[in-house]
């Protein structure tokens, strides 16, 4: 991954390297980062320490991964990336498959992302109605899985309080409120249809669960898209905020908030600081802002502007487009770093930006993109290694074999992101053998899966009760007597 170092002009190379070097993280540094995150996971899980913990470690009330016997028809809503989607999903037991029957995308206009909560939920309820109507489902009351990809304090599977918006959303009157209640109120305001039971799901959980149907050792879900985050199965005895010691529960780590207490200051560059200050949520989601698709393009843009102003690119001349915040999309990074057509793609992007480039400039631009995307991949790798190591130690295993369900455009579309991420995990979690499963439509199908697993568990516990109902009654009576 060194496209143009050889052809770079001597002076250009030296000074550009000074900037790019700040994005390079050594193995020791990555190990340190992983160790800091390990401590933060423990803080987040603690009964008393979690209030102030930057990594929130949210209980999800998902207590089991699929066992392959789940089935049924479900509705799924998916809000949290670039689009809002409604889906009709069928979980088929026999073939162990989750089928997407139909789906529909509804755009959420930018004004709505930052308008009132009522407007947003009215829009969601209207999109759902359109979908039901056009698929003749308006008279059914199907259970609904709601993938809502923001940090939520879940009280139960159907009670989920938004802690804060991320990723460019900032609707008023939603933070601190129960999202299920807001959805149901919006549907009630319309009065023309109803929904069945609701299960709230983070996209990481949906991803883990949808991969879990195919591979039952899938116990980690990870997203590297517009935002970044991961969830994993934790031992109940360590989840101090939820009663009960037995079994496991899926924890939504919300690792995007890592560093919000200043713990990543040593690796933040001046460009990261600007990206944070210019964002709509300064001071929060520090780790996410160094990693995810919403921010990578902007970091590259700021760096290109600086290099140009220092006379190291484009003959020292910027352009209006290059000076426009957020104009450099993260997808350009993937195009620019493509192995075969990368150089050509770079030149197309630079021309589109109205820049006067030569071959050396395009090579430098590729190096800039490489520095930023590599750092992102390696930081994610370090964080994933922390989770894998934790699961291994939790289970007192010499070696851990586990599967990670992954989704998100950065992971899927970037030419060598996944390779670099895996290499870092191998380096920092040498005793863990990790299989990566790319999830297809995990947040939609996964929401249905969570609902299906919840139903299966309810069905199983009903069967259990029915089989020895009398004993249960006696026990209850005894308790009442005391
Ligand atoms: C949110 C997470 C989500 C992640 C990936 C973050 O901004 O806080 O809840 O899982 O983005 O979509």
Judge if the beta carbon of residue 293 lies within 6 A of ligand 1: no
The alpha carbon of 267 and the centre of ligand 1 are apart by a number of angstroms equal to: 22
Q: Which residues contact 273 (CB under 8 A, 6 or more apart)?
A: none
Q: Ligand 1 atom 9: the closest Cα is on which residue?
A: 150
Q: 324 exposed, middle or buried (CB, 10 Å; 0-12, 13-18, 19+)? A: exposed
Cα(329)–Cα(300) distance, rounded to whole angstroms?
9
Closest CA to 451 of 147, 128, 125: 147
Residue 51, helix vs strand vs coil = helix
Q: Are 278 and 307 in contact (CB under 8 A)?
A: no
The alpha carbon of 270 and the centre of ligand 1 are apart by a number of angstroms equal to: 24
Place of tokens 């195009």: 335
Cα(391)–Cα(218) distance, rounded to whole angstroms?
12
The reported pLDDT for the residue numbered 476 is 37
* Residue 181 falls in the annotated catalytic set: no
Cα(51)–Cα(31) distance, rounded to whole angstroms?
26
Judge if the beta carbon of residue 59 lies within 6 A of ligand 1: no
Q: Are 218 and 211 in contact (CB under 8 A)?
A: yes
Q: Ligand 1 atom 6: the closest Cα is on which residue?
A: 227
Residue 322, helix vs strand vs coil = coil
Give the number of other Cβ atoms within 10 Å of residue 319's Cβ.
17
Residue 329, helix vs strand vs coil = coil
Lowest-confidence region among 213-222, 352-361, 364-373, 442-451: 442-451
Residue 161's φ and ψ, nearest 5 degrees, are -100, 125
Q: Which of 179, 254, 294 has most ligand 1 atoms within 8 Å of CB, for mutation?
A: 254
The alpha carbon of 423 and the centre of ligand 1 are apart by a number of angstroms equal to: 24
Adjacent-strand bridge partners of 199: 145
Side by side, which strands form the sheet with 84-92? 97-106, 84-92, 72-79, 144-148, 198-201
The model's pLDDT over 414-454, given as tens digits with 9 standing for 90+, comes to 999 999 999 999 999 999 999 999 998 787 888 888 888 88
Q: Which one of the listed residues 158, 178, 203, 361 is annotated catalytic?
A: 203
The reported pLDDT for the residue numbered 479 is 38
Task: Give the mean pLDDT of 141-157.
Answer: 92
Judge if the beta carbon of residue 407 lies within 6 A of ligand 1: no
Specify the ligand 1 atom closest to the Cα of 81: 12
Adjacent-strand bridge partners of 104: 86
Place of tokens 């030296």: 14
Whether residue 119 is predicted with pLDDT greater than 90 in this model: the reply is yes
Give the number of other Cβ atoms within 10 Å of residue 359's Cβ.
13
Q: Which one of the listed residues 56, 167, 289, 445 is annotated catalytic?
A: 167
Cα(86)–Cα(76) distance, rounded to whole angstroms?
6
Adjacent-strand bridge partners of 402: 434
Specify the ligand 1 atom closest to the Cα of 257: 8
Cα(299)–Cα(302) distance, rounded to whole angstroms?
5
Residue 302, H or E segment: helix 293-309
Q: Which residues contact 451 (CB under 8 A, 6 or more apart)?
A: 74, 143, 144, 145, 197, 199
Q: Are 107 and 124 in contact (CB under 8 A)?
A: no
**pTM, entire model:** 0.91
The alpha carbon of 480 and the centre of ligand 1 are apart by a number of angstroms equal to: 45
Place of tokens 């603690």: 46
The reported pLDDT for the residue numbered 321 is 98
Judge if the beta carbon of residue 442 lies within 6 A of ligand 1: no
Judge if the beta carbon of residue 292 lies within 6 A of ligand 1: no
The alpha carbon of 78 and the centre of ligand 1 are apart by a number of angstroms equal to: 12
The reported pLDDT for the residue numbered 13 is 62
Q: 247 exposed, middle or buried (CB, 10 Å; 0-12, 13-18, 19+)? A: exposed
Q: Are 444 and 78 in contact (CB under 8 A)?
A: yes
The reported pLDDT for the residue numbered 465 is 75
Q: Are 133 and 104 in contact (CB under 8 A)?
A: no
Dihedral angle computed from the Cα positions of residues 473, 475, 476 and 478, in that order, rounded to the nearest 10 degrees: 120
Max Cα-Cα span within the chain = 87
Judge if the beta carbon of residue 204 lies within 6 A of ligand 1: yes
Closest CA to 166 of 51, 255, 250, 269: 255
Which band of pLDDT confidence, cut at 50, 70 and 90, is reported for residue 394?
Answer: very high
Whether residue 182 is predicted with pLDDT greater than 80 in this model: the reply is yes
Q: Which of 56, 162, 164, 227 has most ligand 1 atoms within 8 Å of CB, for mutation?
A: 227
The reported pLDDT for the residue numbered 469 is 46
Task: Give the mean pLDDT of 242-255.
Answer: 94
Judge if the beta carbon of residue 229 lies within 6 A of ligand 1: yes
The alpha carbon of 52 and the centre of ligand 1 are apart by a number of angstroms equal to: 19
Whether residue 472 is predicted with pLDDT greater than 50 in this model: the reply is no
Cα(410)–Cα(227) distance, rounded to whole angstroms?
9
Q: Are 434 and 357 in contact (CB under 8 A)?
A: no
User: In the chain, pLDDT over 70 holds for what percent of residues?
Assistant: 93
* Residue 203 falls in the annotated catalytic set: yes
In terms of DSSP bridges, do strands 218-224 and 228-235 run parallel, antiparallel, or are they unpaired? antiparallel
Whether residue 178 is predicted with pLDDT greater than 90 in this model: the reply is yes
The reported pLDDT for the residue numbered 470 is 46
Whether residue 48 is predicted with pLDDT greater than 80 in this model: the reply is yes
Closest CA to 373 of 417, 343, 432, 336: 417
Judge if the beta carbon of residue 279 lies within 6 A of ligand 1: no
User: In the chain, pLDDT over 90 holds for what percent of residues?
Assistant: 72
Q: Ligand 1 atom 12: the closest Cα is on which residue?
A: 227
The alpha carbon of 360 and the centre of ligand 1 are apart by a number of angstroms equal to: 38
Task: Give the mean pLDDT of 225-245.
Answer: 94
* DSSP-assigned states of every residue in 303-349: HHHHHHHTTSSGGG---TTTTSTT-S-HHHHHHHT-TTTHHHHHHHH
Look over the chain and give the mean of its residue pLDDT values, rounded to a whole number: 90
Judge if the beta carbon of residue 342 lies within 6 A of ligand 1: no
Q: Ligand 1 atom 1: the closest Cα is on which residue?
A: 150
Whether residue 105 is predicted with pLDDT greater than 60 in this model: the reply is yes
Judge if the beta carbon of residue 151 lies within 6 A of ligand 1: yes
The alpha carbon of 149 and the centre of ligand 1 are apart by a number of angstroms equal to: 5
Adjacent-strand bridge partners of 162: 152
Which band of pLDDT confidence, cut at 50, 70 and 90, is reported for residue 207?
Answer: very high
The alpha carbon of 85 and the centre of ligand 1 are apart by a number of angstroms equal to: 16
Judge if the beta carbon of residue 202 lies within 6 A of ligand 1: yes
Q: Which residues of 267-299 are buried (b: 16+ CB within 10 A; e: fewer)?
A: bbbebbeebbeebebeebbbbbbbbbbbbbbbb
DSSP structure class, residue 236:
G
């Amino acid at each position: 991954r060194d496209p143009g170092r050889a052809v770079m002009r001597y002076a250009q190379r030296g000074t550009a390297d000074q900037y790019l070097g700040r994005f390079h993280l050594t193995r020791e540094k990555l190990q340190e980062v992983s160790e800091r995150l390990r401590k933060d996971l423990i803080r987040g899980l603690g009964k008393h320490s979690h209030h102030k913990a930057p990594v929130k470690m949210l209980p999800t009330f998902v207590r089991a991964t699929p066992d392959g016997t789940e089935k049924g028809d479900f509705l799924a809503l998916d809000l949290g990336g670039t689009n809002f989607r409604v889906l009709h999903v069928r979980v088929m037991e026999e073939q162990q498959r989750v089928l997407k029957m139909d789906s529909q995308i509804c755009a959420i206009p930018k004004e709505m992302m930052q308008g009132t909560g009522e407007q947003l939920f009215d829009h969601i309820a209207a999109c759902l109605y359109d979908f039901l109507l056009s698929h003749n489902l308006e008279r059914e009351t199907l259970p609904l899985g709601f993938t809502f990809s923001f940090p939520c304090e879940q009280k139960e599977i159907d009670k989920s309080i938004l802690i804060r918006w991320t990723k460019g959303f900032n609707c008023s009157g939603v933070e601190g409120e129960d999202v299920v209640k807001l959805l149901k109120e919006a549907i009630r305001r319309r009065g023309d249809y109803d929904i069945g039971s609701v299960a709230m799901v983070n996209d990481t959980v949906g991803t883990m669960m949808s991969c879990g149907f195919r591979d039952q050792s899938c116990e980690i879900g990870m997203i590297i898209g517009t935002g970044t985050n991961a969830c994993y199965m934790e031992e109940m005895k360590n989840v101090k905020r939820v009663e009960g010691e037995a079994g496991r529960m899926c924890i939504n780590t919300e690792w995007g908030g890592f560093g919000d207490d200043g713990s990543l200051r040593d690796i933040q560059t001046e460009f990261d600081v600007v990206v944070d200050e210019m964002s709509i949520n300064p001071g929060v989601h520090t780790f996410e802002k160094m990693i995810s698709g919403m921010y990578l393009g902007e970091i590259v843009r700021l760096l290109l502007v600086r290099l140009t102003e220092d006379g190291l690119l484009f003959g020292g001349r910027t352009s209006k487009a290059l000076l426009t915040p957020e104009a450099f999309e993260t997808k350009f990074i993937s195009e620019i770093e493509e192995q075969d057509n990368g150089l050509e793609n770079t030149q197309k992007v630079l021309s589109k930006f109205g820049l006067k480039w030569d071959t050396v400039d395009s090579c430098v631009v590729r190096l800039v993109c490489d520095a930023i995307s590599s750092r992102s991949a390696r930081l994610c790798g370090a964080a994933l290694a922390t989770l894998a190591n934790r699961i291994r130690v939790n289970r007192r295993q010499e070696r851990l074999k586990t599967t990670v369900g992954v989704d998100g455009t950065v992971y899927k579309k970037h030419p060598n992101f996944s390779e670099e991420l895996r290499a870092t995990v191998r380096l920092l979690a040498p005793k863990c053998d990790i299989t990566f499963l790319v999830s297809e439509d995990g947040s939609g199908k996964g929401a249905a899966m969570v609902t299906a697993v919840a139903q299966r568990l309810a069905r199983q516990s009903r069967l259990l009760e029915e089989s020895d109902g009398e004993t249960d009654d006696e026990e209850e009576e005894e308790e009442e007597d005391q």
